[in-house]
Structure 1
Amino acid sequence: MLDVLIRNGTVIDGTGARPLRADVAVADGKVVAVRPEIETRAARTIDATGLTVTPGFIDPHSHSDWSILGNRDAQSTIRQGVTTEVVGNCGVTYAPLTDGNAREAGAALAAFGYEGEVDWRSFGELLQRVHGGGTAQNLAWFVGHTALRDAAGIHGDRVTDDEATRVDRLLDEALDAGAIGLSTGLEYGSGRDATTAELTRTAARVARHGGLYASHIRNRDAHLGAAVDEFFDVARRTGLRAQLSHLNVRYDTGAAPDAWARAVERLDAEREAGLDVLADITPYPDGIGLAIGLLPAWLVADGPVRAAQRLADPEVRQQLRGDCDRYWRFLHRGQWDRVTLAVSPATPELEGLGFPEIAERLGRDPWDCLFDVLQAAGADMPAVQLMGRLFTPEHVADAVEHRLFCLGVDGFTSRTDGVLAARTRHPLFFTGHTHYLTHHVLQRGTLTLAEAVRKMTSMVADHFGLADRGRLVPGCHADVAVLDVAVLAEQDTSTYRQGTYAAGVPHVLVNGVQVVDRGVHLGARAGVHLRRSF
C-alpha cells in the first residue's frame, strides 16, 4: 500500500522534459512510480486534476539559517513549494562561536524571532540545535568564512600561523559535522579584510574534504571584473566546485555598461574549460544588505561597539560622508529613495520606513539618520539590515534566462506573526519563489515552466551534491510541490499584502510527508539535514 498517491496531475519532473499527464506514487519517503492511472491503494490520495506536480523547489542561496530557530515551520517558504534550502551563505553563519561573540550572535538571532539561549559554540552543535528540534524543510549548510575568522580571533588582513591553525581546526570540524563547503562574504564584516592568498589557502582545505566554495564576491559595481577574476583565481587554484553567489550588478554605481556581460562570458568560458561552476540570481530588482557594509574598514576594524562610540563624534561622521562610498555606492549619488530600513533592533519604530521618510521624521539628513541607527545599535550593529532597489528589471530577466544561473531568492523564511512579521514587509520573503513562476514564466515569458522548474530543482540538486533530490522519478526522495498554475497566473507577486502567504501551491510534501494540504500548514517537520553526496 502506498503512503501518498497524487492522481490526475500534469507532471513536470524537474529534468526539463515536457510535461506529462501522470500519477505520482509515494512510499517510504520515496517516489516509487510516475505513470498514468496508478491503481494501487494509498493511505492518502491527493486529487491533482487541473494542477501541476513538480519536485519541491530548492533554493541555492538562502539565509534561512538566520530565522529557522524562530520559524521552524518555515511558514513563508514551505507554502511556496520550497522543500530544501541551501543556507550559510555570504560568509555569515552563527557558528562557530566563542564566548566573546555569542552575545552578539544571540542579539542578531533574537531579531529573527529566536527566544532561546545561544549555548552552542561549534558548528556541529548548531546543527544539532536546529535539526534536533525539527524543521519543515530540508537544509544543506555552508559554514561561513567570516564566522571562522571571527572565532579564530583574526583582525585585519594579516593572519598568524596560530590563527590559521585555528581556522583549519574549526573548518575541519564544520565539514566533518556535515557542512557542504565554505561560503565567503567579501563586501562586509571581517571577510572583506581577507586577502586572495588567505582565501586560496582556506579553500584548498575545503577541496581536500571534497566540499564546495560559494562566494559573495568583493565588488558588484565599478570593480566587478577584478572581483570575478579573484573568484575564479581561487576556484581554479584549488579545483573546487564553485558557486558565484547572486552574480549581478547594482545599477548607477559606476559599473561599465558591459560589466555584467563580460562577467557572464567569463563564467561561460570557465564552465566550458571544465570548471564545475554555476551562478545564481534573485527574482526581484530589490535585495537585502547589511548596513555595516557601508562603513569603511578604518571605522569597523575594532568591532561594532568601538565603531558605535566613534559615530558620536561629528568629525568622524563628516569624514564618513566621503569614505562610505562602497557597497551600495548609489547612496553617494543621493539616491536614498532606493533604500528602506528593514531590521534595526535598537530603533524598531523606524523599521519598514524609507530613508527620506526617516529623515523627515527625525529632522536630519539621511546620512545622519543612518549613522544614528548604527550608533544606537552598538554591539548589534551587524544585525542592522537594509532593503534596497538594486537592479533593473531587464538585468534580472537576463540573469534568470541564462543557462548557467540557478534561481534563488537571497532571503530567509518568515511568517505573518511575531518579530519576523514586523521585519519582512517585502514580497521577497513571501512570494520570492513563486515570483519566478508568476512574473518570469507566466507573465513575462522569460522561461518556460519546465525550464524554470529545472532551474529551481534538479539543476541545484546536481550542482550541490544533494543526492536523489530535485526530480520526480522513481527512487528519488519525495519532495513534491503541487501548483495551481491558474491561480499563480492571476497573482501580483510584485507587492506584498501584509499578513498573507503565497497562494497557488495547495500541496507540499517533504520526504514523503504532507506538510501543506489545500494551503493549510499541517505542522509537520519532516525536513532533514542534507549532506553532499560527492
Structure 2
Amino acid sequence: MLDTLIVGAEVIDGTGAPRAPRSVGIEAGRIVTFPPRERPAARRVVRAEGALLTPGLIDPHSHSDWSVLGNRDALSTIHQGVTTEVVGNCGVTHAPISGRDAETSAAALAAFGYTGEIAWRTFAEYLDAVHDGGTAQNLVWFVGHTALRRAAQLDAEERGADLGGALERRLREALEAGAIGFTTGLEYGDGRFAAPEELRRLAEVVAEVDGMYASHIRNRDSSLAEAVDEFFSIVRAGGLRAQLSHLNVRSGTGAAPGAWERAVERLEAERARGTEVLADMTPYPDGIGLATGLLPEWLLRDGLAEAARGLRDPEVRERVRADSDRYWRFLHRGEWHRARLTVSPATPALEGLSFPEITEITGKDEWDSLFDMLAAAGAEMGSVQLIGELFTERHVAEAVAHERFLLGVDGFTSRRDGPLGRRTRHPLFFQGHTHFLAHHALATGTLSLEQAVHKMTGAVAEHFRIAGRGRVRDGAQADLVLFDPERLAGADTLRLPEGDADAARHVWGNGIPVVEEGRSTGSRPGRRLGRSRA
C-alpha cells in the first residue's frame, strides 16, 4: 500500500516535456507513477484536480547556510516549494574556522538568528552541527575559499606552515567531509587577495575527486571579459565541472556594449570544447551585496577590525571616497537611491531603509553614514549587507530565457519573525522562486512553465549530480510540490507578501509532508547531500 497518492494533478515532470495528467504515489520516500485514472490503495489520498505537480525546486545558488541555523524549518523557501539548496556560494562559508575567529563568526551568525555556541572548527564539524539538528530542506555543500584562506593563514601563522600547503590541506578536509567542491567571491573578502595561481592549485585538488568550482567572478562590468578568462583558466586547470555564478552585468557601471553577450558566447565556446559549465540568474532586477565590497584592498589587508579602526579617521575616509569605483560602481557615481541597507549588526534601527532615508536620520551624507555603520560593526563589518537595484528588467529576462542559465535566487531562507524577519523586508526572500514561475513564465512568457520548472529542478540536479532528484519519475526521491495555479499567478508582484508564500499548497521532502494546505508541518526531513551521499 502506498503512503500517499496524489490524483487529478497535471504533472510537470522536470524534464521540460509538456505537462500531462498522471497519478503519483509516494512509497517509502520514493515516487511511483500511474496512469491518470489508476487508483492504487493508499493510506492517504490527496485530491489535486486543477493543480500542478512538480519536482521539489532546487536552488543552484543559495546562501541559506548563513541562516539555516536560525531557521531550520526554512520557512520562506519551503513555502515556495524549494526542497533542495546548493549552498556555500561566493566563497563565504562559516567553516572551517579557527578559535581566534569563533567570536566573529558568532556575531555574524547572530545577525541571521543563530545565538548558539560556535563549537565547530572543521568543515566536517560544521556540517554535523547543521544536520544533527535537522533541516526542512536538503542541502548540497560547497566550501568557501574565503573561509579556507582565513583558516589556512592562521594555520601558517601558528604552525609556520606554507600558506599554499595549508590551503590544500583545509580543502581536502572539506572534500572528505562531503563538499562537492569550492567557491570563490573575488570582488570582496579574501578572494580579492587570491592570485589566479592560488586558485588553480586548489582546482587541481578538487579534480582529484571529480568536484566542482563555482565563482562570483572578479569583475562584472568594465573588465568582465578578463574576469571570465580568469574563471575558465581555473576551471581548465582542474578539468572541472563549473558554475559561473550570477553571470549578469549591473546597470550603469561601465560595462562595454555587448560585454554580456560576448561573455555568454565564451561560455558556449567552452562548452563546445567539452567543459561542463552553466551560469545562473536571479529573478528580480534587485540583488543583495556585501558592503565591504565597496572598500579598497589597501584598507582591508590587515583585517576587518583594523579596517574599522581606519574608517574612524577622516583622512582615511577621504581616501576611501576617492578610491570607491568598484563592485557597485553606481554608488561611486552618486546613485545612492538604488541601495538599501538590509543587515547592519551595529545599527539595526537603520535596517530596511534606503540610503537617502538614512541620511535624513543621521544628518550625514551617504558615504559617512556607511562608514559610521561599518566602523561601529568592527570585525563584524563583513556581515553588513545591502540590497540594490542592479539590473534592467530586459537584461534579467534575457538571462532567464537563455538555455545555459539555471534559475537561482542568490538569497537565503528567512522567516517573518526575529532577526531574520527584520532583515529581509524584500520579496526576494519570500517569493523569489515563485516569481520565476509567476512573472517570467505565466505573465510575460519569457519562457514556458515547463522550461522554467526544468531550469529549477531537473537541469540543476543533472548539472550538480544530485542523484535521484529533480524529476517526477519512478524510483526518484519524493521531493514534490503541488501548486495552485491561481495562487501562483498572484506571485507576480514586487510587493512583500503579508505572510509566507501560499501557491505551494503541499510540499513533500523525501516523502515527508513539510507543507500541508499551505501550512508548515514543522517536519525536518532534509538530508545532507554530497558527492558520496544520495
Normalised to the residue count of structure 2, the TM-score between the two structures is 0.98
Output the CA distance in 2 between the equivalents of 1:353 and 1:486.
33
- The equivalent residue for 2:396 is 396
- The equivalent residue for 2:520 is 521
Name the amino acid aligned to 2:473. Answer: V
Output the CA distance in 2 between the equivalents of 1:146 and 1:262.
29
| 1:34 to 1:54, Cα distance in 2 relative to 1, 3 A | farther
**Alpha-carbon shift at residue 221 of structure 1 (Å):** 0.9
Output the CA distance in 2 between the equivalents of 1:59 and 1:81.
10
**Alpha-carbon shift at residue 492 of structure 1 (Å):** 3.8
Q: Secondary structure at the match of 1:16?
A: coil
* Superposition map of 1:36-55 within 5 A: 36-55=36-55
Output the CA distance in 2 between the equivalents of 1:329 and 1:492.
29
Q: Secondary structure at the match of 1:509?
A: strand
- The equivalent residue for 2:411 is 411
Q: What residue ranges of structure 2 are gaps of 5+ in the alignment? A: none
Moved more, 39-48 or 296-305: 39-48
Superimposed CA distance per residue, residues 7-39 of structure 1 (whole angstroms, 9 cap, x where no aligned partner): 110001000111111110110111022431232
Contact persistence 2:155–2:161 (CA under 8 A): no
Contact persistence 1:154–1:163 (CA under 8 A): no
* Superposition map of 1:26-425 within 5 A: 26-153=26-153, 162-425=162-425
- The equivalent residue for 2:507 is 508
Output the CA distance in 1 between the equivalents of 2:161 and 2:324.
32
Contact persistence 1:34–1:472 (CA under 8 A): no
Output the CA distance in 1 between the equivalents of 2:42 and 2:504.
22
Output the CA distance in 2 between the equivalents of 1:29 and 1:176.
27
Output the CA distance in 1 between the equivalents of 2:7 and 2:408.
29
Aligned CA RMSD, in angstroms, stands at 1.4
**Alpha-carbon shift at residue 155 of structure 1 (Å):** 12
Contact persistence 1:155–1:190 (CA under 8 A): no
Output the CA distance in 1 between the equivalents of 2:291 and 2:155.
20
Output the CA distance in 1 between the equivalents of 2:165 and 2:34.
51
Normalised to the residue count of structure 1, the TM-score between the two structures is 0.98
**Alpha-carbon shift at residue 493 of structure 1 (Å):** 2.9
Contact persistence 1:34–1:473 (CA under 8 A): no
- The equivalent residue for 2:531 is 532
Moved more, 126-135 or 25-34: 25-34
Output the CA distance in 1 between the equivalents of 2:437 and 2:344.
32
Contact persistence 1:214–1:243 (CA under 8 A): yes
**Alpha-carbon shift at residue 490 of structure 1 (Å):** 2.8
Output the CA distance in 1 between the equivalents of 2:45 and 2:173.
44
Superimposed CA distance per residue, residues 43-66 of structure 1 (whole angstroms, 9 cap, x where no aligned partner): 222111100000000000000000
Contact persistence 2:168–2:202 (CA under 8 A): yes
Contact persistence 1:359–1:365 (CA under 8 A): yes
- The equivalent residue for 2:486 is 486
Output the CA distance in 2 between the equivalents of 1:154 and 1:214.
25
Name the amino acid aligned to 1:415. Answer: R
Output the CA distance in 2 between the equivalents of 1:491 and 1:462.
27
- The equivalent residue for 1:4 is 4
Output the CA distance in 2 between the equivalents of 1:44 and 1:150.
51
Output the CA distance in 2 between the equivalents of 1:298 and 1:237.
29
Contact persistence 1:466–1:533 (CA under 8 A): no
**Alpha-carbon shift at residue 533 of structure 1 (Å):** 6.0
Contact persistence 2:443–2:492 (CA under 8 A): no
**Alpha-carbon shift at residue 154 of structure 1 (Å):** 6.8
Output the CA distance in 1 between the equivalents of 2:92 and 2:155.
16
Contact persistence 1:33–1:474 (CA under 8 A): yes
Contact persistence 1:509–1:516 (CA under 8 A): yes
* Superposition map of 1:460-479 within 5 A: 460-479=460-479
Name the amino acid aligned to 2:385. Answer: Q
Q: Secondary structure at the match of 2:357?
A: helix
Q: Secondary structure at the match of 2:232?
A: helix
Aligned pair count?
530
Name the amino acid aligned to 1:394. Answer: R
Moved more, 166-175 or 53-62: 166-175
Output the CA distance in 2 between the equivalents of 1:273 and 1:327.
31
**Alpha-carbon shift at residue 486 of structure 1 (Å):** 1.6
Identity of aligned residues (%): 61
Q: Secondary structure at the match of 1:153?
A: helix
**Alpha-carbon shift at residue 273 of structure 1 (Å):** 1.6
Q: Secondary structure at the match of 1:506?
A: strand
Output the CA distance in 2 between the equivalents of 1:34 and 1:507.
19
Output the CA distance in 1 between the equivalents of 2:199 and 2:119.
29
Superimposed CA distance per residue, residues 47-93 of structure 1 (whole angstroms, 9 cap, x where no aligned partner): 11100000000000000000000000000000000000000000000
Q: What residue ranges of structure 1 are gaps of 5+ in the alignment? A: none
Output the CA distance in 2 between the equivalents of 1:432 and 1:507.
18
Output the CA distance in 1 between the equivalents of 2:125 and 2:203.
23
**Alpha-carbon shift at residue 421 of structure 1 (Å):** 0.2
Q: Secondary structure at the match of 2:289?
A: strand
**Alpha-carbon shift at residue 503 of structure 1 (Å):** 1.9
